[in-house]
Amino acid sequence: MARMHSHKRGRSHVTRPPALKSTSWITISSKEMEELVVKLAREGLPPSLIGIRLRDEHGIPLVKKLVGKSMVQILEEHDMAPPMPEDLNNLLERARRMMEHLKTHGSDRKSKHSLELVEAKIHKLSKYYKRKGVLPEDWRYKTVVAQLA
């Protein structure tokens, strides 16, 4: 798949195995897996870093195959789900860092353009999450690019 705002190809990646059943080398039960996910969430890790740690330290490729629920669903059951989706939160943090940069370097045109692209992604993603009911309908992101021009 192509990148959103460039004419380049996507990043290289490893294709997930097509099988929907659990893999044979995993000896952890689904109950232990849920406890491990909750324990890592209590340490303050977001879902993506929990998945990376499970993959690297425990050899678990996908939580959903083992448990039958996604990691966010597990965290929601234990009232530990993040208030905002992680991908949207990362985009908001990136936009905040760009705004801080533009306060000191106001004539940086490349950063202004990059901020426009990030804000376009924020609007697109927030529209999707509003449609899915994850974000409230009155949630708004205040555009900063219009203030800079």
The pLDDT averaged over each successive group of 10 residues in the chain (149 residues) is 71 69 78 94 94 91 87 94 92 93 94 94 95 93 67
Packing angle, helices 86-104 and 109-132, rounded to 10: 160
Main-chain dihedrals φ then ψ at residue 12, nearest 5 degrees: -75, 150
Return the pLDDT at 17: 65
Quote the pLDDT of residue 2: 62
Look up the CATH architecture of domain 86-148: Orthogonal Bundle (1.10)
Residue 95: its pLDDT value, please?
Answer: 93
Residue 46 CB-density burial (10 A; 0-12 exposed, 13-18 middle, 19+ buried): middle
Per-residue pLDDT, 146: 58
Give the pLDDT of residue 138: 92
Residue 6 is predicted with a pLDDT of: 76
- The two tokens of residue 9 are 């190809």
